[in-house]
Structure 1
Amino acid sequence: MSFKIDTKLELEHLHLLVQSLEEMTDFYKTLGLQILNKTANQVEFTIPGNTKPILVLSSNEEVTIRPPRTTGLFHFAILVPSREDLAYVIGNLLNVGVPVTGAGDHIYSEAFYLNDPEGNGIEIYRDRPRSEWISDGRGGLVTGTEAVDIEGVMALYDRNRSWTGLPKGTVLGHIHLNVRVINNATTYFYIDALGLDIMTNFHDSALFISAGGYHHHIAVNTWQGVGAPVPPEQTSGLLSYTLSLSSQEALQKLVENLHTHQIPHTLENGRLRVLDFNNDAMIFYVR
């Protein structure tokens, strides 16, 4: 039987390298995140009322903006608990003038899209109940991009609900990456070595990958062009993303499988570090 990663895997937070720490900090405060810790060169954000980070920003004097048509972060996705919460967040962002650049009904979710000041994509979405997700008959899920019922969503916006930031229960839902190519090496890394499952192959240009039957924790696409280069070091964008496992046994089994499949990795102080195809670090630990 092939190895499967812990079905209780969760995304914890992502770490971005930014050029303007001040401007980006102001933006993410407006977005509804709360500062957890702050130094001269780094800010950790959390969901109001939480004690774990969901986003970390770091900066230094050498950072330049990621060039176009390169690999890296396509977007990170903030999952809110309900459709009412989605209306609450989007309504308040529009009230303060944060532009929403798009929206999509993906069959299993309803999503709105925007960009931060340095061009990092952000998705804010809510999931439909799993009972409403549509199987593709091959162990995966049907997805697409249809028009969101914006009127239906925004009809739930309660103007009397005071803005206190992203609502309780909000989490990092998934990470979506631009990559050079999708091929056998891609599936070997994510499926054979990491033990994840392909939930959707979208026209051979994107894979939606998950643990435990979720629609996706990680997606990869070639929409910046097949063969797009990895950006130079010290350019803005994703540095790492952290995923948590439910037990020490699950972590050890993952380490053993990476060793079996000859995937370079390090394990130090309980944190397993693996580089993905964009040279971004995937960090696994036991929560």
Structure 2
Amino acid sequence: MTTQAPDTMQIGHVHLQVSDLERSIAFYRDVIGLSLVQRYGRQAAFLSAGGYHHHVGLNTWNSAGQPPGSKRHPGLFHTAFLFPDRATLGAALKRAVDAGVTITGAADHGVSEAVYFDDPDGNGVEIYRDRARADWPRDAEGMIEMVNAPLDLPALLAEAA
């Protein structure tokens, strides 16, 4: 029996409990750039990129009108959205800035460039782009050596597609 996931496995979607469905649809559509693909009445919605059935599910089944949970409690740290290149990442950052989203962090991790902020319910969001695998920093044994260096956000915004 294999105990390792196949190399081709991917994470398919995240499903979030939100307090205000319309507000969350607007955020994931207008800031992240996903398309609304289905509504489940007034309690749930599904959004995606590229025609996939859904990358993000949103529901208010147990959470309508509730305040965000504490960042100090166990739970989802963030959902990460991988953009294909620096220009599209810059465009996503521009949408976030234009929407008045507060950027909570940004880093050059050596393997990727990432920007962090929260959705309207306080769920962490990362938008990022990977560098080519051949360019990832590695130690003498071949292990990846990620870093947490500053990311030049004005330069990234200048590359917005």
Please indicate, yes or no, whether the TM-score normalized by the shorter chain is above 0.5. yes
2:53 and 2:100 map into 1 onto residues whose CA distance is: 28
TM-score by length of 2: 0.87
Equivalence for 1:117: 120
Equivalence for 1:43: 45
SS at structure 1 position matched to 2:13: strand
1:95 and 1:67 map into 2 onto residues whose CA distance is: 27
Equivalence for 1:24: 24
Gaps of 5+ in 1: 159-287
Equivalence for 2:56: 55
> Cα offset for 1:93?
2.2
1:13 matched to 2:13: yes
> Following superposition, which runs of at least 4 residues in structure 1 exceed 4 angstroms of deviation?
none
Matches for 1:134-153 after TM superposition, within 5 Å: 134-138=137-141, 140-153=143-156
1:83 matched to 2:83: no
SS at structure 2 position matched to 1:50: coil
Equivalence for 1:67: 70
Per-residue Cα deviation, 1:165-188 (whole angstroms, up to 9, x for no partner): xxxxxxxxxxxxxxxxxxxxxxxx
- In structure 2, give the amino acid aligned to 1:112: V
> Cα offset for 1:97?
2.3
1:2 and 1:35 map into 2 onto residues whose CA distance is: 37
Contact 1:109 1:125 in 2 (8 A): yes
Equivalence for 1:215: none
1:155 and 1:130 map into 2 onto residues whose CA distance is: 24
Equivalence for 1:33: 34
2:71 and 2:114 map into 1 onto residues whose CA distance is: 24
> Cα offset for 1:82?
0.3
- In structure 2, give the amino acid aligned to 1:102: G
Contact 1:19 1:60 in 2 (8 A): no
Per-residue Cα deviation, 1:141-172 (whole angstroms, up to 9, x for no partner): 101211013243223124xxxxxxxxxxxxxx
Larger RCO: 1 or 2 (CA < 8 Å, sep 6+): 1
**Structure 1 or 2: larger strand share?**
1
1:2 and 1:34 map into 2 onto residues whose CA distance is: 37
Matches for 1:1-287 after TM superposition, within 5 Å: 3-31=3-31, 32-38=33-39, 39-47=41-49, 49-60=50-61, 64=66, 65-138=68-141, 140-158=143-161
- In structure 2, give the amino acid aligned to 1:87: G
Greater Rg over alpha carbons, structure: 1
Contact 2:17 2:63 in 1 (8 A): no
1:140 and 1:98 map into 2 onto residues whose CA distance is: 35
Q: What is the count of residue pairs matched by the alignment?
A: 157
Gaps of 5+ in 2: none
> Cα offset for 1:138?
4.2
2:123 and 2:47 map into 1 onto residues whose CA distance is: 16
TM-score by length of 1: 0.51
Contact 2:18 2:63 in 1 (8 A): no
1:76 and 1:136 map into 2 onto residues whose CA distance is: 28
1:91 and 1:135 map into 2 onto residues whose CA distance is: 31
SS at structure 2 position matched to 1:10: coil
1:68 and 1:5 map into 2 onto residues whose CA distance is: 30
Report the aligned-residue RMSD: 2.1
